[in-house]
Structure 1
């Protein structure tokens, strides 16, 4: 009889029972003179002692401006050193940092501010072509909880100066009352599946998730971690910033937003040992026309996360980018975010074809999405996660929380996964992404993996679209390599006889880009909307 699809990440290393501020203090005591933060596009460098001093002054400045424990403070900015300072400053006074997507427009900003009750908004003047000040002016009268706004570009020095009006004793009194189960962060889900909800995370949630991520990567104070992913998302602020500071490693920020050339330049100049990204970022770096000019030999490890990484891409990361110890991490905002990770010394097959085994102190089970019963190993089902990393809930949304976390504490992820006999998990798709074509289940990930093996294909995404005959039909969106001229007929011929006929895409769409969130996740729900409208228009 096959084992059930359940595994527990047993660990001899205990969970950290402390706040983020307490953890940072210990790192500063150990590694105070080592680099803590390098932000290349701002020419900013700080040791741990210097970062600690900045964090304390910002924290006292926030207190002077009326920010209290439990208040929500929004941050709306691309990656910059002030973002990192405010992340730790809010944690040290017990304010709840509300991460606001840099790509938000007026309606989305208004929703996030009102839903979470932001009292103080710290914002950049703008990002790319978006004028944040104009957008804020448009919505501010409709945000009754918003007491004040602080424009980082204009008011940063004034905030630090305000620290003088708050004594060290007053600050220590505030910090000393904090508990590690207190909420410290609200993150709005990235929108790959629709309307965002505010996942509420505690010190205990994200500090431990960061710590065990760093343990899995083998971080020490000698590591320098290139973080090109946005801070507003768990990947950047937890697996990036917090993971570094739990182990005394250096956070290295290449640009305010993702730029493949800036990443390559930064890795070489700062001798980074670790690099993060979603698969589309690694693809952009590998395909950059100047890739061969850069010495990336300092790299040894890193993380690919946010979306399944095609096997061929993973192999190139390991070889061409020297990241022999690259790890896959999988999870979601609601699980702080990581729940599985591959090991740095796992066999190549496991590191390219799975997202690893359960995190230390985490439980994973795979269930039948209809009956809720645990399925045997090797059988696909919905992945559920339980443990310290599961969020406190969706902010002021008990109904959505109850739909996501069941009565026994399991977070239902919506991921379709398979667990093998050794406890490794492979993601085969999303529950909402499974294509049911004439009664046959087609898993987009499987088709995408095959399409990535076809010469000339740079990237492929597979979705289901309505079909009167079969209910759904398979469609592939394909981005070709520069100079390639493949057609749908060419790709069909490459598939024929190599994968089952019902899995071969019936529709092909050639694109230069895909609809994406700011974190680089492909929005398949948006692809389905666009494709369905186009197909209906073509048949009209």
Structure 2
């Protein structure tokens, strides 16, 4: 690095350990060969355990079954589920065959599911049946009533023209058959663990092939499919695990969702690339289940967003559990309050907990603190650039790299940058410039030591409980209401979730609308965390002389009305 670069907000990660130039399937096989009888996966809520050898056999069996179902390399296969054994089997089996796994957020509802499946042309959908008040199979039938008369694997649906197969994740003792759908257990039973076809197909899969699509809302407000390769996520999982000093003696408790990179990359792949054991405490996050799992399974690593750690620390039974085996983990998703970090280190024994920053489009981690990073730096920064990556901070207007400690847009370059947005070349070019830099949209600074601090965001993204929400997506949905003339959505600071959504609505002349009516309109159509908490009916929006809506004024007025202050951003 030149002296000029040292003075600028630019940093390059270490390169002493080489990048992995294998597919996920091939690398997994090397780990199995090293640790065949070590425990690889524990799903406590399903009461299931697998050694590495047993997990490999099930992965190969599922891969064989997927080939038997007519799926071929490059086909898109969606999974709509919370955390379970089936999820990780799908992750590894699709990777082995070069199928592209499409992550569907379990909070999605009918309109969002339809958009996602059609956007990338999913040929198959694997779904959990139900969870709490969510009936996933009913929502699928709402979209595809043709299932009632279809043979499994032969669906022809007007609203989902590419979809041919729907598989539902059944549990022991599950009830009656679902017309037109195939049980996951039945699908798995059709496979052979030693199927020569699987080996033949896997031999032709290359590390730079697409392996995963994750939906992330862009500045246009419409979900975009960030397309990631084996090389992207396998290496990110490995090097994030290296930052936590993972070994085959570690046991990683994963309460974060697998449909995010946090769960499937920083959790599953970080573990599997180091011969560690994955522990799922429950299907969805339950603080008591996490505490029980850490104690009973002697977990050494725990992941979570700050609100998860707060829920665990504040649980009335917290003091009953022995968490002394914990050592490290990742806290990410939103800024970490100083007092929370102190309690995690002290009360949960996580002296080596790390902070990570990234985005889906960068697989996800670009910056991470180390196990020995001073506490003050862990709560005031997002660490330093990771191995084999570059980060720089540029002036959003000129593109010039800023001086140290001067804010600008954080950009990332290296192996982790996505292949692109599926079917959106223009938006891909907008996000990734001609020199390969991914423009994050986040405002950041870099100090003299290379620590990066996120200080804001260029666009008006709202972060609620670790979920990134773009107001435009919600605005576009609310515009569909026949009584809505115009709508603007902003985020309002909230001490519990980071931010809450607020919608200002102009009602069409002669029409009437209530807050309850707006919420009813959203119910079952968009994810619950996207439904505005605050709804106000107004005559007009604050605007500039040229007619541009001033969202910051809406936000400021709501802050005054609610008596809230801006949360400090780490």
Question: CA contact under 8 A between 1:306 and 1:521: conserved in structure 2?
Answer: no
Superposition pairs of residues 21-100 of structure 1, within 5 angstroms: 21-100=25-104
Q: Classify the secondary structure of the residue corresponding to 1:185.
A: strand
**Per-residue deviation, 1:348:** 2.1
Partner of 1:388: 415
Q: Classify the secondary structure of the residue corresponding to 2:257.
A: coil
- Cα distance between partner residues in 2 of 1:365 and 1:401: 19
Question: CA contact under 8 A between 2:254 and 2:281: conserved in structure 1?
Answer: yes
Does residue 1:277 correspond to 2:281, yes or no? no
**Per-residue deviation, 1:478:** 3.6
Question: CA contact under 8 A between 1:330 and 1:340: conserved in structure 2?
Answer: yes
- Cα distance between partner residues in 2 of 1:213 and 1:526: 35
Cα 1:82/1:406, change in 2 over 3 Å: same
Q: Classify the secondary structure of the residue corresponding to 1:389.
A: coil
- Cα distance between partner residues in 2 of 1:215 and 1:49: 23
- Cα distance between partner residues in 1 of 2:560 and 2:378: 43
Could you list the runs of 5+ residues in structure 2 that have no partner in the other structure? 145-156, 171-181, 472-489, 498-521, 538-553, 563-570
**Per-residue deviation, 1:190:** 6.2
Does residue 1:177 correspond to 2:199, yes or no? no
2:226 corresponds to which of 173, 192, 199:
199
Partner of 2:354: 327
Q: Could you list the per-position Cα deviations for residues 90-135 of structure 1 after superposition, in whole angstroms to 9, with x for gaps in the alignment? A: 0001100000010111100000000010001111112221111111
- Cα distance between partner residues in 2 of 1:73 and 1:424: 39
Does residue 1:260 correspond to 2:287, yes or no? yes
2:383 corresponds to which of 356, 363, 374:
356
Q: Classify the secondary structure of the residue corresponding to 2:190.
A: helix
Partner of 2:191: 163
Q: Could you list the per-position Cα deviations for residues 380-414 of structure 1 after superposition, in whole angstroms to 9, with x for gaps in the alignment? A: 11100000000000011111111111111111111
- Cα distance between partner residues in 1 of 2:212 and 2:78: 10
1:212 corresponds to which of 235, 239, 243:
239
Partner of 1:345: 372
- Cα distance between partner residues in 1 of 2:534 and 2:447: 31
Question: CA contact under 8 A between 1:38 and 1:45: conserved in structure 2?
Answer: yes
Superposition pairs of residues 501-512 of structure 1, within 5 angstroms: none
- Cα distance between partner residues in 1 of 2:122 and 2:184: 19
Partner of 1:231: 258
Question: CA contact under 8 A between 2:493 and 2:559: conserved in structure 1?
Answer: no
Question: CA contact under 8 A between 1:209 and 1:336: conserved in structure 2?
Answer: yes
Greater Cα shift, 193-202 or 378-387: 193-202
1:108 corresponds to which of 112, 119, 135:
112
**Per-residue deviation, 1:161:** 2.0
Question: CA contact under 8 A between 1:278 and 1:521: conserved in structure 2?
Answer: no
Does residue 1:315 correspond to 2:342, yes or no? yes
- Cα distance between partner residues in 2 of 1:356 and 1:394: 27
Cα 1:332/1:530, change in 2 over 3 Å: farther
Partner of 1:152: 169
Partner of 1:498: none
Cα 1:175/1:145, change in 2 over 3 Å: same
> RMSD of aligned C-alpha atoms?
3.1
Q: Classify the secondary structure of the residue corresponding to 1:236.
A: helix
Question: CA contact under 8 A between 1:192 and 1:522: conserved in structure 2?
Answer: no
Partner of 2:482: none
Question: CA contact under 8 A between 1:192 and 1:521: conserved in structure 2?
Answer: no
**Per-residue deviation, 1:301:** 0.2
Query: Number of matched residues?
Result: 468
- Cα distance between partner residues in 2 of 1:156 and 1:330: 35
Question: CA contact under 8 A between 2:219 and 2:459: conserved in structure 1?
Answer: no
Question: CA contact under 8 A between 2:39 and 2:50: conserved in structure 1?
Answer: yes
**Per-residue deviation, 1:352:** 2.1
**Per-residue deviation, 1:19:** 0.1
Q: Classify the secondary structure of the residue corresponding to 2:390.
A: strand
Give the TM-score normalised by the residue count of structure 2: 0.77
Partner of 2:456: 429
Question: CA contact under 8 A between 1:77 and 1:126: conserved in structure 2?
Answer: no
Partner of 1:379: 406
**Per-residue deviation, 1:433:** 4.8
Q: Could you list the per-position Cα deviations for residues 258-300 of structure 1 after superposition, in whole angstroms to 9, with x for gaps in the alignment? A: 1111111111111100000011111111111111111111000
1:241 corresponds to which of 257, 268, 272:
268
Greater Cα shift, 391-400 or 308-317: 308-317
Does residue 1:128 correspond to 2:132, yes or no? yes
- Cα distance between partner residues in 1 of 2:561 and 2:318: 41
Q: Classify the secondary structure of the residue corresponding to 2:191.
A: helix
- Cα distance between partner residues in 1 of 2:219 and 2:292: 30
- Cα distance between partner residues in 2 of 1:3 and 1:244: 37
**Per-residue deviation, 1:315:** 1.5
Q: Classify the secondary structure of the residue corresponding to 1:197.
A: strand
1:368 corresponds to which of 384, 395, 398:
395
Cα 1:160/1:314, change in 2 over 3 Å: same
**Per-residue deviation, 1:311:** 1.8
Partner of 2:540: none
Give the TM-score normalised by the residue count of structure 1: 0.81
Could you list the runs of 5+ residues in structure 1 that have no partner in the other structure? 435-443, 449-457, 465-472, 481-514
**Per-residue deviation, 1:64:** 0.3
Cα 1:41/1:192, change in 2 over 3 Å: farther
- Cα distance between partner residues in 2 of 1:352 and 1:194: 31
Superposition pairs of residues 516-531 of structure 1, within 5 angstroms: none
- Cα distance between partner residues in 1 of 2:86 and 2:279: 14
